[in-house]
Each structure stands twice: as C-alpha cells, then as structure tokens.
C-alpha cells in the first residue's frame, strides 16, 4: 500500500520524519503481532511469536514534489515506494511488516506499507496506518485493534448441523489439490497495472444499466457487482473470448458477515468462484447478477464451515496463489483508507494497493474507494494483466463507453 500526502510549506521534513518514527514506536504497542516473527507450533501450523523483534522502517528522499511525482508515476516507480524482503529460509528472522517513509524534497511524503497475507489483509494494514495517524493528530488511537481467532460455531450448533455446507470448501479444496502453475517459471508473464477512476455519476449510470439499483437490492446497493461485471466483460473480450467469459473468482471481506468489530486485526478475506456458464460477452445484466448472487450465498454459516474445515486441513500445503486459472476480483471498497490524517487538513491525496503474486493466467482486479470528495459511489479500480492485455484494455470500446478516466497504465 502507498499513501500520498501533501505537507505544509516550510515544514522541515526531517522533523516530521523524526516525529513519525517516534509515534510509530508507540503505536506498535497496540499491535504486538506486527513486531513478532512467524514460526510453526508443535502441530506444524503457522503462528506469530510475539517477541517484540520489531517492524522494519526504511527512509528515502525523492526529488521534486509529491504532486510532480503523481503526474508522472507509473507502476514501476510507485513500487519503489514500498519496501519488501522475501522471507529467509528460516522465517523466524524475517520481519512480517515493512514501512517506508519517502520525503519529497519540494514537499510531500509517501508512506509505503507491506506485509504478509498470513498476518493481515488490506483492512488491517489500513487500521495500522489510521492508528498511527490518529496518534499524530489526536494523541490517541480511535479504533484499537483486536487480535483473536476467527469465530467458529458453538459446540451445540456443531452437533445440530454436523454436515457442513461445501459451497466454499469445494473451491478451496480444488485450489489446494490442483498443482500450482506458479512453479512453472516459463509460464510467468510480465504484467502491467492499469488504474481506472469511475466517478459517482459513471458508477450510478453503470448500476442503472446493469439493473442493480432497484428496491430489491436494498437502499444502499454496492457498486462492486456492477463494476466487476463491466471489467469481467471487457477483460474477457481482451483475452479473445467469443462465446463466454473467462473463469472468475471474487475475494470478499467477511468482517461484517461474521459480526466482527471494525478493529479486528488479521486476514478476513475469503475466495469464492463465480459461475459464468451461459453468460455472453455483452450481457452486463447477467454478469452483474451472478456476481451479486454469489456474494449473497456467502453467509455466516458457510464461512464458519470453511474456517473449521481449514483448521483441520493438514493434508495440503498452502496454495501459492488463489488465481489458478481465474481472473480474480478483490472487493476492497469498504477498506477505511482516507481517514488516515497525520496533519490537520492534510488527508491522503492518493492511495494505491498492490496484491503481489505472479501473474500466470488471467490476472486480478482490485476495487477500492475513491477519495470521499469524489462522491459516495466513486471507485478506483486497479487492474493487473499481462502487458499486452493491459494495453488492449485501455483501448477497449465497451469499457470506454462508460467514460472512465485512466489514471495510470497508458
């Protein structure tokens, strides 16, 4: 993740950096797991040893201003603002969280955060940055983190419903049983990320066209099914599909479904496959509907069945990727990003999120909230595809018909 901020004219950046480092050391006391190290317990399962080994902090200086940087930024440059180290053969010596502070000589800072998905998802990483910002602005942490296991069913319920629902379990089993394409280095393709902005008005128009804006979809329907459908159709065409759509999965945050507090710290994302049978490459309504229907199927009982199955799943190695043969969409529209304000009246001017993995097959799409000033329904979409397909997507007529703004990737 990268957060970009303007800074007050004349503010010495070394003074700001010193303050931020000191405050981060205080904030980590609320997040003991991020200063620990990964190890395996007696059962061979991953755990965090809370030994206060620390978070790695890197500082850098960039020429120009943050505004100038953003005018010319591309994926390669943006990733230089995020530090990451591949884990050692002995994970105990490897930090799970890295924070990079880049100061721009003519004003502005960028804060890059990277972490292992074994430890936290995007919402949890954003929770850390907000806590850090709250400490700087208000002197306290407004949303304290809660670190605990994901909830499972009580013993009585387990006995009453001894047959688990296999809807999610079957998808995970297929991922764990299938060979990993990432092991075949010759298949790995160079990728490119395209950032697309959908304004409030554009999203509203898309939802009307997909007919996902009526009373049957609630008073406050999510734009995610519609935007995912638009990109699903466009990317399928880019990949040369004629009679149907590419295989597609979605990744969803289960905090609300499981009744978890917004301060839950960990990884609460699940993956489920969307059925694309008999959907044409021009059928936006059908595509949006099957995505919405799949989201509705992911209820508390099914998620808890999956959690319990994974807890007892000792016969498989963890998958190296969750996009084996699938185009995968991440619904990150509820991640609390823009409330992380370090200096009064200086909220983030841009935020980017990257989910790193080898692009072997069909790619990935991240749907994020845009800046609140752009409207409630506005969304920023980050699409990562093989190079040639990313370039074709920028020229796709169906996508262009909705008049989105391409912010990066041309």
The pLDDT value recorded for residue 207 is 93
Out of 3.40.50.1980, 3.30.450.40, 3.60.21.10, 3.30.559.10, select the CATH number for domain 155-408.
3.30.559.10
For residue 408, what pLDDT band results from cuts at 50, 70 and 90?
Answer: confident
Highest mean pLDDT out of 142-151, 209-218, 286-295: 286-295
Fold match between domain 2-137 and domain 155-408: yes
What is the per-residue pLDDT across 103-137, written as a single tens digit (0 to 9) for each? 999 999 999 999 988 889 999 999 999 999 999 99
pLDDT surpasses 90 at 339: yes
List Cβ neighbours of 388 (8 Å cut-off, separation of 6 or more): none
pLDDT tens, position by position, 22-66: 999 999 999 999 988 888 888 777 788 888 888 999 999 999 999
Instruction: Please determine, for residue 180, whether its predicted confidence score (pLDDT) is greater than 70.
Output: no
Burial class (CB in 10 A: 0-12, 13-18, 19+), 101: buried
Q: Which has more confidence, 365 or 321? A: 365
Task: Say what the pLDDT of residue 173 is.
Answer: 85
362: left (phi over 0), alpha (psi -120 to 50) or beta: alpha
Residue 13 predicted with pLDDT over 90? no
CB 348 within 8 A of CB 340: yes
Higher pLDDT, 32 or 182: 32
Report domain extents, the chain: 2-137, 155-408
Q: Do 145 and 127 meet the contact criterion of CB atoms below 8 Å apart? A: yes
Who's near 401: CB < 8 A, 6+ residues apart?
none
Taking only the tens place, the pLDDT of each residue in 193-238 is 999 999 999 999 999 998 765 444 454 689 999 999 999 999 999 9
Mean pLDDT of 252-277: 93
Q: What pTM was estimated for this model as a whole?
A: 0.90
More confident residue, 360 or 78: 78
User: Where does the pLDDT of residue 186 fall: very low under 50, low under 70, confident under 90, or very high at 90 and above?
Assistant: very low
58: its two tokens: 């890197």
More confident residue, 179 or 341: 341
* Mean pLDDT value across residues 312-333: 71
Could you tell me the pLDDT band of residue 312, with boundaries at 50, 70 and 90?
confident
Domain range 2-137, CATH class:
alpha beta
pLDDT at 18 over 60: yes
Of 218 and 387, the structure prediction assigns the larger pLDDT to: 387
pLDDT at residue 20, as a whole number: 95
| CA–CA gap between residue 208 and residue 174 (Å, rounded) | 36
- Number of alpha carbons in the 13 Å side-chain half-sphere of residue 243: 1
* Cβ-based neighbour number of residue 275 at 10 Å: 12
Q: For the residues 326-336, what does the mean pLDDT come to?
A: 94
Kindly report the number of other CB atoms within 10 A of residue 262's CB atom: 13
Average pLDDT over residues 375-399: 95
Q: CA gyration radius for the chain?
A: 21
Please state the rounded mean pLDDT for residues 267-274: 94
Residue of 329 and 90 predicted with greater confidence: 329
Percent of the chain with pLDDT over 70: 88
* Residue 157 reports pLDDT greater than 60: no
Q: Which of 234, 195, 235 is nearest to 405 (CA)?
A: 195
Q: Is the pLDDT of residue 266 over 50?
A: yes
Tell me the pLDDT band of 324, cut-offs 50, 70 and 90: low
């Amino acid at each position: 993740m990268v957060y970009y901020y303007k800074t007050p004219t004349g503010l010495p950046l070394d003074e700001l950096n010193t303050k931020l480092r000191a405050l981060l050391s205080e904030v980590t006391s609320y997040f003991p797991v991020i200063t620990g190290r990964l190890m395996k317990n007696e059962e061979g399962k991953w755990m965090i040893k809370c030994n206060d080994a620390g978070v790695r902090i890197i500082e850098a200086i960039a020429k120009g201003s943050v505004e100038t940087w953003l005018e010319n930024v591309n994926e390669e440059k943006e990733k230089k603002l995020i530090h990451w180290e591949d884990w050692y053969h002995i994970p105990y010596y490897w930090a799970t969280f890295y924070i990079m502070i880049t100061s721009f000589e003519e004003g502005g800072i960028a804060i890059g955060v990277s972490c292992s998905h074994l430890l936290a998802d995007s919402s949890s990483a954003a929770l850390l940055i907000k806590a850090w910002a709250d400490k700087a602005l208000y002197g306290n942490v407004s949303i304290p983190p809660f670190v605990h296991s994901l909830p499972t069913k009580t013993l009585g319920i387990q006995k009453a419903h001894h047959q688990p629902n296999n809807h999610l379990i079957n998808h995970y089993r297929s991922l764990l049983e299938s060979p990993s394409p990432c092991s075949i280095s010759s298949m790995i393709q160079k990728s490119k990320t395209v950032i697309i902005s959908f304004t409030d008005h554009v999203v509203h128009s898309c939802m009307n066209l997909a007919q996902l804006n009526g009373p049957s979809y609630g008073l406050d329907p999510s734009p995610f099914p519609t935007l995912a459908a638009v990109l699903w159709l466009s990317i399928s065409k880019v990949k040369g599909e004629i009679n149907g759509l590419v295989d597609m999965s979605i990744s969803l945050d289960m905090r609300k479904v499981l009744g978890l507090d917004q301060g839950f710290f960990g990884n609460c994302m699940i993956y489920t496959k969307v059925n694309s049978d008999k959907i044409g490459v021009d059928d936006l309504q059908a595509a949006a509907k099957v995505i919405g229907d799949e989201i509705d199927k992911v209820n508390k009982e099914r998620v808890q069945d999956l959690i319990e199955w994974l807890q007892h799943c000792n016969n498989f190695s963890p998958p190296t990727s969750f996009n084996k043969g699938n185009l995968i969409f991440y619904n990150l529209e509820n991640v609390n990003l823009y409330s992380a304000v370090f200096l009064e009246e200086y909220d983030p001017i841009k935020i980017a999120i990257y989910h790193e993995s080898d692009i072997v097959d069909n790619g990935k799409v991240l749907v994020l909230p845009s800046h609140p000033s752009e409207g409630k329904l506005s969304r920023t979409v980050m699409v990562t595809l093989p190079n040639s397909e990313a370039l074709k997507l920028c020229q796709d007529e169906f996508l262009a018909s909705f008049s989105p703004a391409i912010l990066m990737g041309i």
